Structure 1
Amino acid sequence: MSTLHVLILAAGKGTRMKSAAPKILHPVAGTPMIDYVLDTAGALGPATRTVVIGHGADQVKAALGGRQGVRFLLQEPQLGTAHALMQAAPLFDGVAGTLLLLYGDVPLLTAATLRRLLDTHLQAGAAATVVSAVVPDPSGYGRVIRDDEGGVARIVEHRDASEAERAVQEINAGIYAFDLATLFHALNRISANNSQREYYLPDLVGIYRADGRRVEALVADRPDEVLGINSRVELAAMSRRVWQARNEALMLAGVTIEDPATTYVDAGVTIGPDTTLKPGVTLQGRTRIGFNCIVHSGVRLVDSILDDRVTVLDSCLVLGAHIAEGAQVGPFAHLRPDTHVGRDARIGNFAELKQTRLG
């Protein structure tokens, strides 16, 4: 297996988000979207993971500074996707292997798809392999045009496509595997002779083809895997997808969720079987819930532990607390950090506890 390096593009401003915060730090279902991409990349066991930063660079570094094995590369100014890749040339001077190019705003991409991408790339001996998707309405996307042998002949932007090319439903998802041996020589030949005066990665296809090198495409099994996020509307839609998938996994594992559409569970939460979540429950942080618990409507638990057979009645807020087996809390109770409710204890209406041991 070729040595793998991962480069994640995360320098963009995210203008349509209309936010002072970098786009990639906005949470999808409770987790910053860049974290999904870093976790997926980490599952592949790469030799290096590099995040290209630009707008809000200090905020991104502060948010990700605790991650082991992640390095940062500044792109300033931001002159397109190929320009971002050009900035990485000094990092990979004399380095052999495969470079996997990802985007910090594509959180649903799976490690399984990326493994298929790498396998396809290496087996074909390609200079580059791109992830594509077949969609019913490809309007606005670059089209993947294949040659007679099934390789990629070119990638054509929608505005430049002929009528026949616009009828093609296979689109460029922009995720690539590159052979490092040929990448930067080809990149240096990309021109910014376009209306935006930027350097675009799809131009590499023509350069590789002119050199007689092969370019492949792997079709993603699920088009939604390669969806990016460009607005808060898309952010909310993506969060709904993730929450739905988490809730389905919990229900298949034996948890009753009475209304999945109004139940919000963070990625770090664990819940035991035969526990019931009533409508309107929010579980955040590293909350752990045992088996046969009941969490009623309007409850929010953050970084808290519920042992087995605990009942939390309506409209309670529990922050950093531990509720022991058989206890009951609420309704309308507020448990603040470092509170411990003992076994079979009862906390009634409108109680507020902080740094307290009861029972």
Structure 2
Amino acid sequence: MSEEVKKFKITIDGQETEVAPGTTILEAARQIGGKSVPPAMCYYKPLETSGGRCRTCLVEVSKGSEADPRPMPKLVASCRTGVMDGMEVKNLNSEKTQEARHAVTEFLLINHPLDCPVCDQAGECHLQDLGYEHGLERTRTEFERRTFEPEDIGPYIKLHMNRCILCARCVLLANQLTEEREHGILFRGEQAEISTYLNKALDNDFIGNVIDVCPVGALTDRTSRFASRVWFTKPMNASCECDKCSGKVVLWMKGDEVIRVTTRQDQYAESEEWICNSCRWDKKDTKFWNIEGPRHIDRHSVISLNHYQKPVDEPVLLDNPFAKQLSNKDEHQAEEQK
């Protein structure tokens, strides 16, 4: 009979939970949920060795553990730091964390263009959310942004290096799903870029998944570019019989037309199962699919806010102090009229 593994207790923003040894602070925060979950631009749970690159998930550890209650001297990357028993972490409640996240967002936007109005990723972009929360109205740097020409790196994939933040998710996915990777990070430092070797095209049965793992609009689907804004489409769960993958996808539909096909993703925009290129691009017609019903988008985004089928007990009020203040004012006026 195996011995029961003792779980570690961790407190994040005053909320306590128990996790298994070896769990990272980020995964512990996700177990708690809510706004205590740090943002993550490079960490992607299904990808091995992901994380530790973007530094948006920095948190303050105010208490190391029960055995050693001293605080950690510096902010730590929550996606790469393991939990200790009795650890106390500050995310929203830490001024240092918010200041660091503000600085990291500014660094990410040094070269990233603010072309959200024309970007296909607008409405489901993590960097767009960070830019709205922590970005500046204008850049403080004087040098010109580095620019690249859009590049077709496959028959269905377009690369916009201008928008890339070098999170390396696409490279890690290719390492994990393919035996012969044809693209990677070339050069070093400020000259680093994602590209293929000698302009080779990405050709693999599962390479289309690099589009889904990209947190910004650097890798886009050539078959659905500029076809429709994401908030004008209806995501539908669908499945088919496929000999390469599970065949479980999300169809993004505009009327009866299938605009694009993607993997099913959880509330942190991480793919549940990879899908093959055939399901993604060769079956963009409802006749190939068994449509199961509407897909509820769990993550906080313009898609979930505009979703046409809201779950029970979902708050209709936007979660910000100004909206709450207006709502309370309206309620007060209604009571006075009574």
TM range (shorter): under 0.3
Q: TM-score, normalised by structure 1?
A: 0.25
- Rg larger in 1 or in 2? 1
Q: TM-score, normalised by structure 2?
A: 0.26
Q: Which has the higher strand share?
A: 1
